A and B are shown apart, each in its own frame.
Chain A
Amino acid sequence: MRPRGPDAGTNQMEMATSDEQMVERALSGDPEAFGEIVRRWERRIFALAFGMLGREEDARDATQETFLAAFRNLRGFRGEAKVSSWLHRIAVNQCITRQRRAKVRGETALEDEAEKNAAVFALPLDVSPARTAEKVERSAAVRRAVCALPGDLRQVVVMKEFEELTFQEISEALELPLSTVKSRLYTALRQLQMRLQKFGE
């Protein structure tokens, strides 16, 4: 596991200041400024959306919708929070909305199967079929386990594993005490272990 240095937070601070300047410039009519914000944060927001939704296509759509919503509500950003936290909240809301819609339409089971097939074809040919099937099954199980977590736990897992944020950064983004973030992650890991154990049996 990769230990994170103490300067990661410093970089975040430096970046946050620049992001705020970018938002100010975008508000004053600079057309390039918002593009710069998108460029800086699109990969991280995509990772978050992918962790939350579990599908690449959905994650792309959610990322696009997140930045669109951010642009529309640019004046709503008052500089009280970091730009990253603000974008993060918008992205989480977008993901939750999409999940609700998908649940209403009953798309999950059908898309699971289609995605599994796509994953099998995407793997290299020199891998044995048995190994390929096992890997795909394992990844699908992890995805299902993460997506089945309660929203508050899933959010912490995704921020830790996909966005690679520190506990302090997660705490600031979610405006939660540090101990709450750690206990949520601990609970989430225990639940994931239980679900994956079922898959192993």
Chain B
Amino acid sequence: MRNMDERPVCHRAEDLVTYLYGEASEVDSRDFADHLQQCDACRVEFGIFQQVHDSILVWRNEALGSTFSPAAVVSETAVDSAQFVRHKRNLSALEALREFFSVSPLWLRAATACAALLLCVLGVLAISRTWNKPVQVANRTEESKYSKEQFDLAVKKQVDDELAQRTIRQTPPTVVEGPAPDKSTDRRFKVAVNRVQPKTQRPRGLSRQEREQLAADLRLIPRDDDELPFGLSDEPDQ
């Protein structure tokens, strides 16, 4: 750096610092930039002042941290102030709404009231529809569902009926007809499980061939009791 006493001084010293700190207007900046090209004193001084400014910034950032910036604090505070103002506006929203309606014409008030009424009716309808839907679904599900006990009971009854019929006929059937429709029993349970036939209730034992035939006629369902089908057909296959 040169000694300041040796340097010539330009009359535009104030413009120099304004330009140095970026506060000159666009026109003044352009003007002073042109001046810098022509004036040696200002050009030299501008370079030196920039170095001084940088040195002060280095010291400041070392001491206070590189992220420190009072300008950032100002903008942060300005945002806070804006939020504070906005909050105040939010608090008086109801008041603003009242004010709006007080100055609005009659037709606008009536239209707003009608719209609000319509919205309420639609809302009630929507709520009632969504309220009823699950009930209907639940009824249908209940209709088609049977407990395991009910199913076992029905099967047992069907097998008993079948055996009783054969006992009455006293003839070993070669082909067993499908069970007669019993109004007391749900027709959907025209199936039987061979292995669940109660042996103690049979008046006489069936031969192996008879058992197989009976099973075939009754269209045995899978042995796994947990996977019993529901909603069986009314007409048994032959």
* Interface residues of A, Cβ cutoff 8 Å to B: 1-4, 8, 11-12, 14-15, 18, 40, 43-44, 47, 50-51, 56, 119, 135, 138-139, 142-143, 146, 157, 160-164, 166-167, 179, 182-183, 185-186, 189-190, 192-194, 196-197, 200
Contact = CB atoms under 8 A, between A and B. Distances in A.
Contacts of B53: 1, 161, 189
Nearest to B58: A139
A56 B63 CA distance: 8
B68 interface: yes
B59 A139 contact: yes
Q: Which of B2, B13, B59, B84 has the most C-beta atoms of chain A within 10 angstroms of its own C-beta?
A: B59
B52 A196 contact: yes
B55 A138 contact: yes
7 contacts: A47-B68, A50-B63, A142-B58, A167-B21, A182-B14, A182-B18, A196-B55
Interface residues of B, number: 41
B112 interface: no
Interface stretch (B71-79, B197-205, B220-228): B71-79
Nearest to B19: A1
Contact of A193 (B14, B18, B52): B52
B62 interface: yes
Given A189-B17, A189-B49, A197-B1, A18 B22 contact: no
Contacts of B16: 186
Nearest to B85: A18
B163 interface: no
Contacts of A119: 62
A15 B78 CA distance: 6
A197 B23 contact: no
B20 interface: yes
Given A4-B23, A162-B70, A192 B64 contact: no
Contacts of A15: 74, 77-78, 81
A181 B60 CA distance: 22
Interface of B: 1-4, 13-14, 16-18, 20-23, 48-53, 55-60, 62-64, 68-71, 73-75, 77-78, 80-82, 84
Contact of B1 (A8, A146, A161, A196): A196
Given A11-B75, A189-B52, A1 B70 contact: no
Given A15-B81, A164-B70, A183 B13 contact: yes
A1 B50 contact: yes
A167 B3 CA distance: 27
B206 to A, nearest CB: 95
Nearest to A11: B78
Interface of B: prevailing SS: helix
A164 B14 CA distance: 18
Of listed A14, A167, A189, A190, residue having the most chain B CB within 10 A: A189
B130 to A, nearest CB: 47
B22 A4 contact: yes
A120 B78 CA distance: 37
Given A44-B70, A51-B60, A189-B52, 14 more contacts: A8-B71, A14-B82, A40-B73, A161-B60, A164-B70, A167-B23, A179-B14, A185-B17, A186-B13, A189-B17, A192-B52, A193-B4, A194-B3, A197-B2
Contacts of B51: 193
B17 A182 contact: yes
Contacts of A183: 13-14
A1 B55 contact: no
Given A14-B81, A56-B63, A189-B52, A2 B75 contact: no
B14 A186 contact: yes
Nearest to A45: B70
Chain A CB within 10 A, most for which of B3, B62, B77, B84: B77
A50 B68 CA distance: 12
Given A1-B50, A11-B75, A15-B78, A138 B69 contact: no
A87 to B, nearest CB: 13
A104 to B, nearest CB: 25
